[in-house]
Structure formats: C-alpha cells, structure tokens
Amino acid sequence: MNDLLRRMLFLPDQASDYARQVDGLHYFVIITTMVAAAGVFATAIYFFVRYRRRSDTDVTPRVEPKAIHEVIFVGLPLAFFLVWFAIGFPQFAKLQTPPKDAMDVYVQGKKWMWKFAYPGGPNSLDVLRVPAGRPVRLLITSRDVIHSFYVPALRVKQDALPGRYTQTWFSADRPGRYEIFCAEYCGLAHSGMIGELVVMPPEEFDQWLATQGRGVAGSQDGTPIAGEPVRPASNVIEEGRRLAGEQGCLKCHSVDGTRHIGPTWVDLYQRNEKLQSGKSVQADEGYLTKSMMDPAADIVAGYQNVMPTYQGKLAPPEAAAIVEFIKSLKTPAVQSGPSEGPVYESIPRK
Amino acid sequence: MSPSHASDVPVYNPRNYLNSPATGLKSWLLTQDHKRIGVMFLVAASVFFAVGGLFAMLIRIELLTPGPTIMDAMTYNRLFTLHGVVMIFLFMIPAIPSGFGNFLVPLMLGAKDVAFPKLNLLSFYLYMLGAVVALYGMIHGGADTGWTFYTPYSTTTVTKVVPILLGAFILGFSSILTGLNFIVTTHTMRAPGIGWNRVPLFVWSIYATSIIQILATPVLGMTLLLVAVENAFGWGIFDPARGGDPVLFQHFFWFYSHPAVYIMVLPAMAVISEVVCAFSRKNIFGYKAVAYSSLGIAFVGFFTWGHHLFVSGQSAFDAGVFGVLSMFVGIFTAIKVFNWTATLYQGSIAFKTPFAYFVGFLFFLVFGGMTGVAVATVSLDVHWHDTYFVVAHFHFIMVGATVMAFLAALHYWFPKITGRMYPEGWGLVGAVMVILGFNFTFIPQFLLGNEGMPRRYFSYPERFWALNVASTAGASVLAMGLVIVLVYLLISLKWGPIAGPNPWHSRGYEWDTASPPLPENFEETPVYTRGPHEYDEDSYANPPPVAPEPKHAS
Ligand code: HEM
Ligand SMILES: [Cu+2]
C-alpha cells in the first residue's frame, strides 16, 4: 500500500523512518483533498446539469443560507486542517530536535558545492558519508549566499545561511546512495550543485572514519577503505592543497570527480584531455603549469573560457606545489587533513 | 413578470466614452475618465501578460531536455527572473484592480468617476514609468535573482538588479494610489440606495484588496530600496559579510509579498462572484459571508508570511503559529467556494465562456487552495519547499485564479467595455484549451516536486525528464488557447455584433447604463431600491433597464 501510493505520487525512496512517517501524512492529506474536491466538483456538476438554463425567461428563487450551512462551511475544513496540523507539527518539532547521541557533521554550502567536515577528522566535497541506523546531526552554514541542503529521500531540507549555523538531523535506515540537492537558488551553477549521500554499514563507516582520522590520502581506487597502507601526506602536497584553496582554484575545480565550472582534478595527471580546438594533449607537468599561466591557450572541450590567469600571482614553487597536489589526486572522494569547519561556535544541544 | 426582451434588438449607443469628448490619442493620454484609464491599464497589462507568457514558453522549451536545450544557464536564470517580475508586478497585481477595477468600481457604485481622477491618471503613468525602468534593467543585463530578490545573492550579483528594484518600487506607488482612490470612492461616492449591504461583491473584494495595497506596499518599497542601497553602495544591511542579516530580508519581503498574493487573488474572487450570479441568474448564497470573508482574507493575510521561512532556521514555535494562521486563509477561501457552489443551486445556468472560466477557476482554486494548506502543514513543507510542487501550487492559485478570472472578466465585460460581442463558439474552444493546457502544464509539476526536483533549475537529472516533457507539452496547448482568445477578441473589437446595453440580462448595477457607457456614466445619479445580485421573482418584477438610456430614480 505504502509502496503503491508512493509510486503513484512519484515520491522518491524512503531512506528513513521519518520519511515514511511524513509520507503517511502526505497520503492522508492527498486523500482528504481529493475526496473533498471530488465532493465539491460532483455537486457543481450536478448543479450544472440539473439547473441548466431552459429558457431565456427563467426566474430563480432567492435562497438564503441558514446558520447551520455557514457552520458546516467553516467547521468541516477547519477540522481537517487542524488534524493535518496536529500530525504535521510534532513531526516538524521532531526534526528540529536532534537526539543527544547524534553524531555531528558540519555542512558548508558554497558556490557551487557542498563541503562536509567531521569533527577532528576528514572533510570531503560533495560526498557525505554516514553510518546506517545512527542519528546524524547536520550543522549547516554557507560560505557565500543562501543555499539549501536537501535530500529528497530523507524528506529533509534546511537552509544554509552565511554567517549562521542551522541544524537538522536524520537517521538513515539502510546502506545506499542518495542525491543531495541545493534547493535555494544560488546563481549560475545552482542546478549543478548536486552532492551524494552515501549511507554505509556502521562498521565500515567506523573503519573509514578511523582511516581518515589518521590523516592519510585515502584509498587509491575509490572504494571505501579498510586497513589501507598509510601514506603520509607530503608537505609539498599539503602546501599545494592550501594554495589551491587560497587562490580560489577549488571554486571551479573539484577534487572528487564531480563536474564543475572547470574540469575535475582527480586523475587529471597524465590524462588525455580533448581540447576545444579538436586536438588533444596529455596533462603532464608542463600542461598543468601552462594552464595556470595562460588558461585561454588550451580550452578543454565542453568548458568555457572563464579561468583567470595566475601569471605573476603564483611564484614558481607555489605553482609546483599545486601541480604536486594535482598529481596526488587519484580518485579518492575524501581529502585528508584536519577539518576546516566549524568556524562558529556550534549550536548548543537541547 | 419575466425579464424583458427589448435588448434582443441591440442598439449601439451613439455617444459613449470611446468617442466622446474626442477620439484622438491626446484625448486618451490626458483623460481623467476612469473608464479610459481602466482600458489603458487593461491594454498595457495584456501586453505584459503576452511578454511574460513568451518568457514562460522559452523556459519550458529549455526544460524539455535534461541538459542545455536552447540557451545557457545565465540566460535561463535571467529569463525566469524576468518571467516572474513581469507576471507579478506588471500583470497580476495591476490587471484586475487597476484595469477592471477602474472601469467598473464607479459604474457599480452609480458614481460619475473615482474620487481623485487626477491621481488615477498619475497612477497609470507611474505604472508605465515603473515598467519602463524595470524593462530598461532587463534589456541592459537583466537580473538573475528570481522575482524574490533573496539577499545576499541579490546584493552581490553582478547583474543589473538596481533598475529592476527601482522599477518595482515605482510600481508600488501606482498600486498605493489606486488602492487609496478605491477606498475613498467606495466610502464617499455610493449612489443613493447603495448601503454597505448593497455594495456589489466585486467592489467589496476590490475594497479589501485596496486595504492590503496601501498597508503592505510601503514595506516592499522600503525593502527594495534597502536592497538597492546595499547593492549599489555596499551597506551592510542584509549581507552577513558586512554585518547584515540575510533572513531579515525574507521577513520584510514576505510581509509584503504574501499579502500581495491576495492582491492578486481577491480581485479574481471579485470577478467570480459577479460571474456566478450573472450566469446562474441567482442571487448570491450568503452575501455577507462572501463579502466579509474578503476582509478576513485581507486581515489574516498579514499574519502568514512566516510560512515561507519554515526551513530558514525559524523556531519550531514560529513555524507552528504561522502554519495555523495560514490555514485560516484556507477557511475563508473555503467559505467562498462553498457559497459560490451553493449559489448554483436552483439557478438557471447558462454555460457561456465566462462561466466556463468560472468552472476552471473553481477547479484551480480548490486544488491550489488545498495544496496551499498542505504546504502550510509544516512537516510536509520541509520536503516541498522550493521544489516544483510549490511552483505548481502557486501557479494553480495565481494563474488559476487570476488568469481565469481575468479571462472571465474580459469576456463578461467585453460588451460593456466595447459595446460588441465576441464569438461564443470560439470563446468556448479557447476556454477548453486554456483550462486543459493549464492542467497538463502544472499537474506534472506537482509530481516533479514530490519527486524532489528543486525549482529554478536550469538542468536536471534524467529521472525528471518525462514529467518535464509532459509539462512543456501542456504549456504549448495553453499557449495556443491563449493565442486563439487574443485573435478572436481583436477581431470582435471591430467586427463583433453589437451587444446592446445588457446582453447577459445581468442585474449588476454596471449594466444599468448604456454599453459602452456614456462619458459621464449616468445621465442622472441612479437611485437603487434593490441589491446588485438579485434575481428572484420579487426583485425581477422590476426588470433591469434595457434601453441605452441609464436607469433613473424609480
Ligand atoms: C504558459 C504559462 C506558464 C508557464 C508554462 C510557466 C512556467 C513557469 C516556470 C517553468 C517557472 C520557473 C520555475 C522555477 O524554475 O522556479 C515559472 C515561474 C513563475 N511563474 Fe510561470 N508559467 C506560466 C504562466 C505564468 C503566469 C500566467 C504567471 C502569473 C500570472 C506566472 C507566474 C510565475 C511566477 C511568479 C514564477 C516564479 C518566478 C521565480 O521563481 O522567480 N507564470 N513559471
Ligand atoms: Cu546553492
């Protein structure tokens, strides 16, 4: 029954118990709406037919409502509306009160990506990993304009406001992958600001988090990590990462494979890039450096010529560090290193 | 006695407001006649409706395929902004109150004109000025903020928002002046015999609308100015990077814009109340309930703005309060719907074009209203907020109500305004296409919203594809319907058969004068001994006047 109605109404997967409860109310609302509307329309159609004009000289009686009519007209809808509210409001209140044992994740929206940070641990772009069956509290903020964190499968949405933290929470019930949208218009690539929620089996998640916590570069092949050999982060690479953030490279280039304003950096090194001119070029150190200094020279097919030049802005060792950083990016969805959030005091728990 | 048939031999009133005192362009542009001003508003608003409709079609074509279809993301973002701005500020807010309201309110009150004819003309020119300023901004760059101008996006974007904000600011003055004029006119210029319980329902609704216009519009004006100032000079009002508060804007904005929805819907209800009575030839079921619920909507409308902010970090308490208050608007609307339906009971229903639009209106209002209460149900709104569900909901309400009523009014009062009839057969064809096309456009959007597609999306994941194609197909049918309506109305302007003063045998006071009306409305001030919606046998003993001469004191 649930599944039938859900499909009829085009509702997405229900990834949590909360989603099922909200959908329950949804069905109730849609059914009462349809029945009431059908009642009004059936009455109206009956009147159209029964009382259609028979002659141009028809006269009609004056019909005045009795008090009881008006009471019904007001009372009936009011009763239904209040019932909806009585079910919906506690659901909403629940969504506003994360359980005490919830795990925290900091979420930051910025044009046009989602950044997730685990306290004291790793952070990642556009991929949010959470354990199944455990409550997760999201502390959400924004770097620039208002965004809105939205996971349809969870029926959860919360605005990301610059200069403020808002919160919401959920507890996904089984492993799976779900879309994360930005629901508040935020400019050019608003509709491309799509992330992924990866719900992992709890043990796997713990292992993954532990690995990440040690500050490693993550796995090489993108599969979630268990007992990977630890490769200490080199200082040059760290420096490159810092510079890439500082210089705004990461505004347009993702480091996890998602498509952005510019080509992703993951696996870029030694990749064969097709150019707009029809030629192609191997992305070696020379190409990478040249792309920073004279971006208009070789535009990669499918992208716009929007990148500014870094000629004179980057000293040679800095450019080299960024190249080293790019070389180190081999498919992992998660970066290591200390969390960069939160910037503000976290919201105290109730 | 039964209604008289003298009007079956139509007479075109030789001296009317269209040809007297003069016909030249100047005599129109400098006129202080409320009827001519009303017609100018109607023409301008219809042109903007066509412009906004063109943008809408481009939007729908772009969304035909998941990726880019006919334009790039920046163009799309500007386009939906312009579509919203043009439709809301240039079409929906002025169309019925400033257009039909101007034409009809004095006629319905037995008055010679509105209280302040010069302010009335000024209101029209402010409207044109605002439109020109806004259009200037659109042509030179255009804004990409959505018609909601949310900060800090709108205060940091590089596009030209300032002229558009100023345009909307100027339009606000037009709205305020018109509202003021109607309030004073209704209070002071009612003909003898029109007590408050005989004020036509159209005027009641316009009166309620006017109250909203003069109370809420200044807030929008201030807010838009603040945004313009922050955008131009970088003051930290809304942008947190400069110490401002981004949510403050949303409170200000919706404090106006939510009541503004009722600026659009109440006039639509005004039209519908008249159409229902005229085409079912019945007195309205529950005059007081219908009249006072307009005031109720106007009042409660001021306390619901917070339902746009459920996911903005608002407290659960606030959300609860705004949720419940929003439901009261639903109740007042429900009262009207039930009363209109009950009016049909034992009526004599003529299924003419205006009535067809009434049927469409009823359907859209019921679904738009019900989905409105559904989104006021806080936990459901969390999922729907800023998705296509909301787009479908507000189109059901705003297009469903305003556009249906606008089209109903256009047909119902076409003979009053022009003295000619439109072709009834084509009228019904147009109405059916518009209503069906509209359903095919927006019902898929409800489902898209359920599925989770956010609004203002230039491209979308493939799973949303099929429903988007359905919506675009529906929009084409809708557009074709509207073109048909436009074509036959333009033809009827010149070649339509002469209508006579009261082709519908309506009892509305505005039909008690010639069609088109005399320049001074009535030769003598009429005196009324009956209500405006009375069709029962007793009041019919005194049949509506049908000669081109106005009704005299009886
Ligand atoms: C052919 C008929 C129409 C179609 C196909 C259409 C379609 C659309 C679409 C696709 C959007 C963009 C939704 C989004 O991405 O957020 C939109 C927005 C909007 N439409 Fe329409 N529309 C039509 C008629 C109208 C009319 C007649 C009005 C008003 C009288 C109207 C008022 C609006 C408003 C206020 C918005 C919101 C703009 C915004 O989000 O900034 N539309 N419409
Ligand atoms: Cu965003």
Would you say residue B111 has pLDDT above 50? yes
Q: What is the pLDDT of residues A71-90, one digit of tens each?
A: 888 898 899 999 999 999 99
CB within 8 Å of chain A, chain B residues 515-534: 534
**Which of A96-105, A278-287, B24-33 comes out lowest in average pLDDT?**
A278-287
Question: Residue B535 falls within a domain, yes or no?
Answer: no
Instruction: Determine if residue A108 is left, alpha or beta; phi over 0 gives left, psi from -120 to 50 gives alpha, anything else beta.
Output: beta
At the topology level, CATH places domain A236-328 in Cytochrome Bc1 Complex; Chain D, domain 2 (1.10.760)
Does residue B548 lie in a domain region?
Answer: no
Query: Which positions in chain A touch B2 (Cβ < 8 Å)?
Result: 57, 59
In a domain, B550, yes or no: no
CATH 2.60.40.420 correct for A103-213: yes
Give the chain B residue whose CA is nearest to the CA of A64: B285
The pLDDT of residue A43 is 93
pLDDT of residue B9: 53
Residue with tokens 């004095």: B106
A149 vs B: CB within 8 A: no
Biggest alpha carbon–alpha carbon distance for chain B: 76
pLDDT band per the 50, 70, 90 thresholds, residue A311:
confident
Task: Report the pLDDT averaged over residues B156-168.
Answer: 84
Asked whether the beta carbons of B434 and B480 are under 8 A apart, the reply is no
CB-CB neighbors (< 8 A) of B239 in chain A: 162
Query: In this model, does residue B417 exceed pLDDT 90?
Result: yes
Sign of the dihedral through C-alpha B388, B389, B395, B400: positive
Q: Which domain holds residue B501?
A: 33-530
Beta strands in A189-252 (DSSP E): 195-200
Given pLDDT bands bounded at 50, 70 and 90, which one contains residue B226? confident
Average pLDDT of span B507-523: 88
Q: Is the pLDDT of residue A215 over 80?
A: no
Whether B540 has a pLDDT exceeding 50, the answer reads yes
Give domain status of residue B172, yes or no: yes
3-state secondary structure of B528: coil
Average pLDDT over residues B409-414: 96
Phi, psi (deg, nearest 5) at residue B173 = -65, -40
DSSP B193-227: T--GGGS-HHHHHHHHHHHHHHHHHHHHHHHHHHH
Give the closest-approach CA distance of A179 to chain B in angstroms: 10
Six token digits for residue B85: 């701005």
Over 80: is that where the pLDDT of A234 sits? Answer: no
* pLDDT above 90 as % of chain A: 37
Look up residue B216 and give its two tokens: 């809420």
Q: Which residues, in sequence order, are CB contacts of A222 under 8 Å at separation 6+?
A: A331, A332, A333
- Check residue B542 and give its pLDDT: 53
Handedness of CA A204, A207, A213, A218 (dihedral sign): negative
B388 in a domain, yes or no?
A: yes
| CA gap B94, B48 in Å, rounded | 11
Chain A touched by B225 (CB under 8 Å): no
Give nearest CA residue, ligand 1 atom 15.
B456
Q: Which of A234-243, B94-103, B126-135, B210-219 has the lowest mean pLDDT?
A: A234-243
- pLDDT for the residue A213: 52
CA B80 to ligand 1 centroid distance, Å: 7
Instruction: Decide if B465 touches A, using CB distance below 8 A.
Output: no
Average pLDDT score over chain A? 82
- C-alpha gyration radius of chain A: 28
Give the confidence band of A219 by pLDDT, cuts at 50, 70, 90. very low
Whole-number pLDDT of residue B447? 95
Q: Is A148 close to B2, i.e. CB distance below 8 A?
A: no
Least confident range from A131-135, A184-188, A258-262, B212-216: namely A258-262
pLDDT band at B11 (very low <50, low <70, confident <90, very high): low
- Cross-chain residue pair A40–B362, CB shorter than 8 Å: yes
> Which range among A156-170, A292-306, B292-306, B469-483 has the greatest average pLDDT?
B469-483
* A193 has a chain B CB within 8 A of its CB: no
The pLDDT value given to residue A331: 63
pLDDT band at B549 (very low <50, low <70, confident <90, very high): very low
Number of structural domains found in chain B: 1
Q: Is the CB of B84 under 6 A from ligand 1?
A: yes
Q: What is the pLDDT of residue B240?
A: 81
What Cα–Cα distance (Å) separates residue A248 from each residue in A122, A192, B73, B76? Answer: 20, 18, 22, 26
Q: Which residue of B has its CA nearest to A50?
A: B346
Task: For residue B242, give the nearest of B250, B234, B233, B231 by alpha carbon.
Answer: B234
Q: How far apart are CA B299 and CA B8, in angstroms?
A: 44
| Residue B2: predicted pLDDT | 38
Report yes or no on B179 lying in a domain: yes
Token reading at B505: 């045998």
d(CA B404, CA B259): 20
Which pLDDT value is given to residue B210? 94
Q: Is the pLDDT of residue B122 over 90?
A: yes
Residue B310 pLDDT: 92
* A 6-35 residues inside an 8 A Cβ radius of B: 9-12, 22, 25-26, 29-30, 33
> Quick check: B554 pLDDT over 80?
no
Strands A113-117 and A103-110: antiparallel
User: Which residues in chain B have Cβ-Cβ distances shorter than 8 Å to A69?
Assistant: 286, 338, 342
Range with the poorest average pLDDT among A106-120, A306-320, B295-309, B426-440: A306-320
Give CA–CA dist B504/B274, Å, rounded. Answer: 12
Q: Do B383 and A155 touch (CB under 8 A)?
A: yes
Task: Give CA–CA dist A28/B116, Å, rounded.
Answer: 52
Asked whether residue B211 is domain-assigned, the answer is yes
The amino acid sitting at B433 is M
Q: Is the CB of B91 under 6 A from ligand 1?
A: yes
Structure tokens at A48: 């159209």
pTM over 0.90: no
Asked, for residue B27, whether it belongs to a domain, the answer is no
| Mean predicted confidence (pLDDT) in B3-8 | 44
What is the mean predicted confidence (pLDDT) over B407-429?
Answer: 95
Interval B324-350: pLDDT, tens: 999 988 899 999 999 999 999 988 899
Q: Which residues of B touch A56 (CB under 8 A)?
A: 3, 5, 505
Phi, psi (degrees; rounded to nearest 5) at A325: -60, -45
**CATH number of the domain bearing residue B43:** 1.20.210.10
Banded pLDDT at B179 (limits 50, 70, 90): very high
What's the CA-to-centroid distance between A320 and ligand 1, angstroms? 50
Asked whether the predicted pLDDT for residue B8 surpasses 80, the reply is no
Specify the pLDDT at position A217.
Answer: 39
Work out the mean pLDDT of chain B and round it to a whole number.
89
3-state secondary structure B477-518: HHHHHHHHHHHHHHHHHHHCCECCCCCCCCCCHHHHCCCCCE
Q: Is B396 left (phi over 0), alpha (psi -120 to 50) or beta?
A: alpha
Distance CA A323, CA A237 (A): 8
What distances in angstroms separate CA B131 from CA B161, B180, B484, one per listed residue? 14, 21, 27
The confidence score (pLDDT) of residue A229 equals 34
